[in-house]
Amino acid sequence: MLNIENLHVSVGDKPILKGINLQIKPGEIHAIMGPNGSGKSTLSHVLSGKSGYTVTEGTVTYDGKDLTEMAPEVRAREGVFLAFQYPVEIPGVSNIYLLKAALNAIRKHQGLSEVDAMDFLMLVKDKVRLLEMDEKFLYRAVNEGFSGGEKKRNEILQMAILEPRLCIMDETDSGLDIDALKIVSEGVNSLRSPERSFVMVTHYQRLLDYIKPDFVHVLAHGQIVKSGGADLALELEEKGYSWVENKQAAA
């Protein structure tokens, strides 16, 4: 589904990612862990098409297509979804308006007609219940005045409605208390399917207690320095990032 080969990315003149290789198959959950400044967020931004990054070398292929050539909205319509670390507040645009605009953009991309108003409302209300949100949130401006936990839940709500095939979750656990973390994780788990893949970018292991990854990769200094199964996260938690960083230095 997603194939990253020898990806080098710079911001201005400064190289951030220095040769990432990663293969993600349908249905898999990959966790990307790493210390601050290792390039985790850069990776999720580059995959979703944020401007300001230059791919200097390597390729990113999504379903056989060059992802880096696509505008952010085209990636989104093709099924790539970024759950933001810091969801943006958009005063004046209601949540439900954005959801509808987004869903219709996807349907148009797929050659389908606009969603029926009643069907849409049923779908949205259904997902709102799943995430234990108040329906009033739908009619409020996007993320405006939401608490940290509400913003993250709202991201998962969008994900649940847009049904992407590749979900990139950027530090979704940051700023969440245990209850919110549980609700968000349950929401994500309910979206797991043999066709849908996840990339979870996280600093801490605790999210992985709730969403069990198939693979864990450790990013340091712009490279994946170690890959393994879910157990690797536990080992990291115990030994700290210096363990892999030191190993890299020794090598």
Partner 1 sequence: MNTVIKSRYSAEYSKVESALPGRSAPWLVALRAGALDKFSGNGFPSIREEEWRYTNVSGIEKNLFVPTDQPSSATVDKEWLDRFKLPDCWSFVLVDGYFSAELSQLDGLPEGLVVQSLAKTLDTDAEQVKPYFAHAVSDDEHSFVAFNTAWFCDGLFLKVSKKLALTKPVQLLHVTTQQERLSTTRTVIVVEPMAEAQVIETYIGVEQAYLSAAVTEVFVEANANLTLYKVQCESAKAYHFGGTYVKQARDARFIHHNFAFGGLLARSDIHCDLDNASECDLNGLYLGNQRQHLDNHTRINHLQPNAVSREMYKGVLAGRSRGVFQGRVVVAENAQKTDSQMNNRNLLLSDDAEADTKPQLEIYADDVKCSHGVTVGQLDEKSVFYLQSRCVDEETARNMLTFAFANEMVNKLTIKSLHDLVLTQVLERFPQQGISIDWL
In the complex, the residues that contact partner 1 under the rule CB under 8 A are: 48-51, 71-73, 75-77, 81-82, 84, 87-88, 90-94, 96-98, 100-103, 105-106, 109, 141, 158, 162
Minimum CB distance to partner 1, residue 112 (Å): 13
Q: How far is the C-alpha of 188 from the C-alpha of 171, rounded, in Å? A: 14
Minimum CB distance to partner 1, residue 213 (Å): 23
Q: Given the complex with partner 1, which of 80 and 225 has the nearer CB atom?
A: 80
How many C-beta atoms lie closer than 10 Å to residue 36's C-beta?
Answer: 8
Q: Given the complex with partner 1, which of 101 and 249 has the nearer CB atom?
A: 101
Question: Which residues, at least 6 apart from 97, have a Cβ–Cβ distance to it below 8 Å?
Answer: none
Q: Given the complex with partner 1, which of 57 and 144 has the nearer CB atom?
A: 144
- What does the DSSP assignment read for 169-186? EESTTTT--HHHHHHHHH
Minimum CB distance to partner 1, residue 194 (Å): 24
Q: Given the complex with partner 1, which of 125 and 247 has the nearer CB atom?
A: 125
Minimum CB distance to partner 1, residue 119 (Å): 15
Q: Given the complex with partner 1, which of 71 and 251 has the nearer CB atom?
A: 71
Minimum CB distance to partner 1, residue 108 (Å): 9
Q: How far is the C-alpha of 214 from the C-alpha of 30, rounded, in Å? A: 6
Minimum CB distance to partner 1, residue 244 (Å): 31
Burial (CB count <10 Å: 0-12, 13-18, 19+), residue 114? exposed
At residue 170, φ and ψ (nearest 5 deg) are -95, 105
Q: Given the complex with partner 1, which of 115 and 230 has the nearer CB atom?
A: 115
Question: Which residues, at least 6 apart from 12, have a Cβ–Cβ distance to it below 8 Å?
Answer: none
In the 8-state DSSP scheme, what is residue 133? -
Cα dihedral: 70, 169, 101, 144 (round 10): -130
